[in-house]
Structure 1
Amino acid sequence: MSLELSNLILHQITKNSDETFSVVRRNNPLNLDDSSQHFVAELHRVYSAKAGKGFAGFKTESACQQWLGQLLKNELPFYDFSVQCAERLYQELSKYPFAQAGILVLAQYRSLATDYLFIGLLNRCDSLKVTDDLDIHNSDYLDVAKMDIAARIDLSSWQTEPESNRYLTFIKGRVGRKVGDFFLDFLEAENGMDTKVQNQVLLQAVEDFCTDARIESNERQDVRKQVYEYCNGQLKAGEEVDLKELSDSLPDSPEGSDFAQFTAAQGYELEESFPADRSTIRKLTKFVGAGGGISINFDSMLLGDRIFYDPKTDTLTIQGTPPNLRDQLQRRQNLDD
């Protein structure tokens, strides 16, 4: 992968015995050698592959935004920019009881004609290594694969479209930890486009469009499948759902309007493009549910064919069970008889 590295620096955020934080600064940026290049390339690869990232944009009063503007205008050296970020980060960390220490990484680079600034707090882990003499020594490493406190700013988009709400992305925190909120506070940014909501609105728009276009039940299932295959294909390719492109692949309504025109006229507020959400688009072709010790997953085309639901009795009837399930059921029944 072609990646041009401009600046890279690490600072250490430490947690003191009294639960406060402090900064151990590096004296200067790292040399831009092969090791630095490989490290940032791996950061970029892992971050890009992370699913479920949030989108945001800077608040007007954001200090980080002002520092970043000065950095890009060469009014603020990268080292000074990194120190200001480190100082602000450790002060912000003190407000959160779940906060942990780590290595603050700031990297400015270009990939595929797009300029980025990566900011992440990575865990420092211990490991063992075997030397050429077959001795065992302790070794420290940064856990890039499991990064969960990180953000990336698309500098190219920010400079050309500062009013956008999606040039800044961040990794959403795990359940029970508002890591995303904490990192947004540090950057003084606010939530922008919600990917999951965009996908949910898309699904509702598809159903409403089929109704408006008077598409028959069997044909409606084909439309759902077509939308799913397009969105899933974009997801696998690392591309976003393009509303116009999707619309061109779907049938028009009897009045001659296409899907994109329908969503605009009905006020669905779909972005021109947005990332596909795997768990949401799966609902186009599958029914999935779990609870009370039961987990069920089946293709939606089977509803009304081999699988029937009675809402009055809340009963699901399955005709023709999978062979491996049937074998388990018969074995258990024979043992219990």
Structure 2
Amino acid sequence: GEGGAYLSMSPSRSKGMAELLQQLVGFSAGVDKAAATRDFLERIETFSQKLPEEQVNDFRSQVVGYCVEQDLQDAPVAISGLSQALDGVDAAAFSSYLADHLPEGGGPLLLDRRSLQRYVKFAGRERDLAISFSSHQLNKRVHYQAETDTLSITGLPKMLRSQLLGHVEE
């Protein structure tokens, strides 16, 4: 089945037997989910550049939504399943693009949920401050200056603006 990507092995006193078993079952240590997710998101980003601009954010959100849902079910992401789940995208073209451009070919992907979520949303919080915004707002409404570690927001949400104006008038 598709769930056969994990194998847990406990260290044995008999090192030779453990190594032999690993070779027999074709076991390789660990899956680098973060690296796999980075490769995957780079491909998603490149593919999204071929789409009409008004479709890009929806496409990214659909991809991440599907992948996070699979992760919540402890299931790998099958490219065919992902392709079929996307609205407004040619499933065959998307599927063959990923198969041609990912190291895994067309195999199931084990992805890192936190990296996926950061792709569509930036968020951070401390005791007295919480900020989150869609990543597509960066360099549009939200600007970050690394030299001064400053975040500038243009066009505040109405509710926040009215709270600020109410506080300033007091």
TM-score using structure 2 length: 0.65
Aligned partner of 2:123 in structure 1 is: 288
Residue 108 of structure 2 is aligned to residue 245 of structure 1: no
The structural deviation recorded for 1:230 is 0.5
Name the SS for the 2:104 alignment partner.
coil
Compare CA radii of gyration and give the structure with the larger one. 1
**Equivalent residue for 1:269, pick from 98, 103, 109:** 103
The structural deviation recorded for 1:202 is 1.0
Aligned partner of 1:320 in structure 2 is: 156
- Alignment partners' CA distance in 2, 1:55 and 1:322: 51
- Alignment partners' CA distance in 1, 2:136 and 2:144: 17
Q: Which structure 1 residue ranges, 4+ long, deviate > 6 Å from structure 2?
A: 54-58, 310-314
Which residues of structure 1 form unaligned runs of 5+?
1-53, 70-157, 166-190
Residue 26 of structure 2 is aligned to residue 163 of structure 1: yes
Change (3 A) 1:315 1:225: same
- Alignment partners' CA distance in 2, 1:201 and 1:228: 14
AA matched with 1:258? A
Residues 57 and 192 in structure 1, CA contact (< 8 A), matched pair in contact too:
no
Which residues of structure 2 form unaligned runs of 5+?
1-5
Residue 58 of structure 2 is aligned to residue 195 of structure 1: no
**Taking CA–CA contacts closer than 8 Å with sequence separation of 6 or more, which of the two structures ends up with the larger relative contact order?**
2
Residues 55 and 193 in structure 1, CA contact (< 8 A), matched pair in contact too:
no
Aligned residues: 156
Superposition pairs for residues 54-65 of structure 1, below 5 Å? 62-63=15-16, 65=18
Aligned partner of 2:65 in structure 1 is: 229
- Alignment partners' CA distance in 2, 1:66 and 1:283: 38
TM-score using structure 1 length: 0.37
Answer 1 or 2: which has greater strand percent: 1
Name the SS for the 1:258 alignment partner.
helix
1:129-183 Cα offsets, whole Å, 9 max, x none, are: xxxxxxxxxxxxxxxxxxxxxxxxxxxxx79x72242xxxxxxxxxxxxxxxxxx
Superposition pairs for residues 1-337 of structure 1, below 5 Å? 62-63=15-16, 65=18, 162-165=25-28, 191-211=29-49, 214-250=50-86, 251-252=89-90, 258-266=93-101, 268-270=102-104, 272-289=107-124, 295-300=130-135, 302=137, 307-309=141-143, 316-321=152-157, 323=159, 327=163, 330-331=166-167, 333=168
AA matched with 2:30? G
Percentage identity across aligned positions?
20
